[in-house]
């Protein structure tokens, strides 16, 4: 069942200086947009109103969002439209693979809307997209950012069977705030998905997760969430500032200063994450290609 659209207006707070961005002046942005339009592809960059999409498109990168642009959930932080989804497009995996080829991506991130209307949550479509990309772009590192699939083993296994190099599923926020931030998901379910991805024999080389800060979490709650992620063997972490996409979404409670993000990043590394991106503008796929698989050596060991 679809959630009701958000209606309550939440006032926006003024952005601090460190969150103000400059728009690109090159023609790279227009080139990327033209390519995506030609291949009729959706991106989380546009659908989720990502503040970095100007920079990323100008550089010729994008995060592809498969399975349509209509989500069956209505998370309080997310700008993706909530509506009855359209049928899956059988040729979408091939179109994504062609975009990766034309953009010459060394590292691609594939995400999707939640498809609770489908028995497998869209897992087979993820698998087909990974396989299509690998066929046309055998050297490209493939990262998937998945919904929770309602923690179904068969769906998780279907994605892992295609052997993406990185399996990402976001915890998004601390335990206490989860019911209000993403009320169709649960904190424990997300940890379970990551734990299963780590434990499977067909698992990717690395697992990854991320949280948004500024929703009202305490420092103690954040550190507990990071410990919980390490407890299920999560290798890679992203921490970024939550920004209210529209007045109908959750308000920003606090703007976290860059020096605090730096501190949290250092503390996360000390906990055993092999790669951490922590900063106000960091998002799940922002500069994802900065993580080098060979340089990392091995997955982070499970904590004792």
Q: Considering the domain boundaries, does residue 10 fall inside one?
A: no
Q: Considering the domain boundaries, does residue 15 fall inside one?
A: no
Q: Considering the domain boundaries, does residue 304 fall inside one?
A: no
List the CATH number of the domain containing 98: 3.20.20.70
Q: Considering the domain boundaries, does residue 183 fall inside one?
A: yes
Q: What's the pLDDT tens digit per position in 216-247?
A: 999 999 999 999 999 999 999 999 999 888 88
Q: 126-132 long-range contacts, Cβ below 8 Å, gap at least 24?
A: 126/66, 126/158, 126/159, 126/162, 127/158, 127/159, 127/161, 127/162, 128/93, 129/66, 129/92, 129/93, 129/96, 129/97, 130/159, 130/162, 130/163, 130/164, 131/93, 131/162, 132/93, 132/94, 132/96, 132/97
Mean pLDDT of the chain, nearest integer: 87
CA distance 195 to 204: 12
Tokens of 266: 């250092």
Q: Considering the domain boundaries, does residue 160 fall inside one?
A: yes
Containing domain of residue 129, as a range?
A: 28-296
Which element (helix H / strand E) includes 120?
none
Q: Considering the domain boundaries, does residue 136 fall inside one?
A: yes
Mean pLDDT for the stretch of residues 127-151: 96
Cα 90 to chain centroid, rounded: 23
Q: What's the pLDDT tens digit per position in 103-119?
A: 999 999 999 999 999 99
Tokens of 135: 């066929």
pLDDT over 90 at 260, yes or no: yes
Which element (helix H / strand E) includes 240?
strand 236-241
Cβ atoms of residues 277 and 184 within 8 Å: no
Q: Comparing 8-22, 215-229, 255-269, 279-293, which segment has the lowest mean pLDDT?
A: 8-22
Q: What's the pLDDT tens digit per position in 21-40?
A: 666 656 777 888 888 899 99
> What's the confidence (pLDDT) of residue 30?
83
Cβ atoms of residues 278 and 268 within 8 Å: yes
Q: pTM, whole model, 2 decimals?
A: 0.88
Cβ atoms of residues 230 and 271 within 8 Å: yes
CA distance 87 to 136: 25
Tokens of 263: 């501190």
Q: How many angstroms separate the most distant Cα atoms in the chain?
A: 51
> What's the confidence (pLDDT) of residue 14?
72
Q: Where is pLDDT greater, at 91 or 53?
A: 91
Total count of domains within the chain: 1
């Amino acid at each position: 069942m679809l959630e009701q659209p958000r209606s309550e207006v939440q006032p926006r707070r003024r952005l601090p200086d460190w969150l103000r961005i400059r728009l690109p002046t090159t023609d790279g942005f227009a080139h990327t947009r033209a390519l995506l339009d030609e291949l009729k592809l959706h991106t989380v960059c546009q659908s989720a109103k990502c503040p970095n999409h100007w920079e990323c498109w100008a550089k010729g990168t994008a995060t592809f969002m498969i399975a349509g642009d209509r989500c069956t959930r209505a998370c309080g932080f997310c700008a993706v439209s909530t509506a009855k989804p359209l049928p899956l497009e059988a040729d979408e995996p091939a179109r994504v693979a062609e975009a990766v080829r034309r953009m010459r991506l060394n590292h691609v991130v594939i995400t999707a809307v939640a498809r609770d209307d489908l028995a497998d949550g869209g897992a087979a479509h993820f698998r087909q997209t990974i396989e299509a990309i690998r066929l046309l772009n055998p050297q490209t590192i493939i990262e998937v950012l998945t919904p929770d699939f309602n923690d179904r083993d068969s769906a998780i296994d279907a994605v892992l069977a295609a052997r993406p190099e990185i399996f990402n599923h976001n915890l998004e926020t601390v335990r206490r705030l989860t019911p209000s931030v993403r009320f169709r998901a649960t904190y424990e379910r997300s940890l379970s998905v990551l734990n299963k991805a780590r434990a499977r024999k067909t698992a990717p080389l690395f697992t990854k997760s991320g949280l948004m800060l500024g929703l009202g979490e305490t420092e103690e709650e954040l550190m507990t969430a990071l410990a919980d992620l390490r407890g299920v063997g999560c290798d890679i972490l992203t921490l970024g500032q939550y920004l209210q996409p529209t007045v109908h979404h959750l308000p920003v409670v606090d703007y976290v200063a860059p020096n605090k993000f730096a501190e949290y990043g250092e503390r996360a590394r000390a906990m055993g994450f092999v790669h951490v991106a922590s900063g106000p503008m960091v998002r799940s796929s922002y500069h994802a290609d900065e993580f080098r698989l060979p340089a990392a050596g091995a997955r982070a060991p499970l904590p004792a």
